[in-house]
Amino acid sequence: MMADEERELRALLERLRQEHRDLDVAIEALHDMPGNDQLQLARFKKRKLALKDRISFVEDQICPDIIA
């Protein structure tokens, strides 16, 4: 992998992690609100799971799990 590609993947990884943390905060805030919107809460949780999968994929691109 080229240094530029790795740098771009690391930048993407950081953006994805930040969005994941932001969703954590949003989910907690929405959950604590009286009369919270269950549909929006479910959407946030689904997006958070998708981000987790994407983060794992990018991490594997940076440092593949090679079994010798």
68 lies in a domain? Answer: no
67 lies in a domain? Answer: no
36 lies in a domain? Answer: yes
Over residues 37-64, the pLDDT tens digits come to 999 999 999 999 999 999 999 999 999 8
23 lies in a domain? Answer: yes
Average per-residue pLDDT in the chain? 93
**C-alpha to C-alpha distance for 13 and 60, rounded to whole angstroms:** 11
Helix crossing, 3-32 with 38-62: angle to 10°? 160
9 lies in a domain? Answer: yes
50 lies in a domain? Answer: yes
51 lies in a domain? Answer: yes
Instruction: Please check the confidence at residue 1 and state whether its pLDDT lies above 80.
Output: no
How many distinct structural domains can be found in the chain? 1
Domain containing residue 3: 1-62
- Enumerate residues 6+ apart whose C-beta is below 8 A from 39: none
Confidence grade of residue 68 (pLDDT, cut at 50, 70, 90):
low
Model pTM score? 0.86
3 lies in a domain? Answer: yes
Amino acid at 6: E
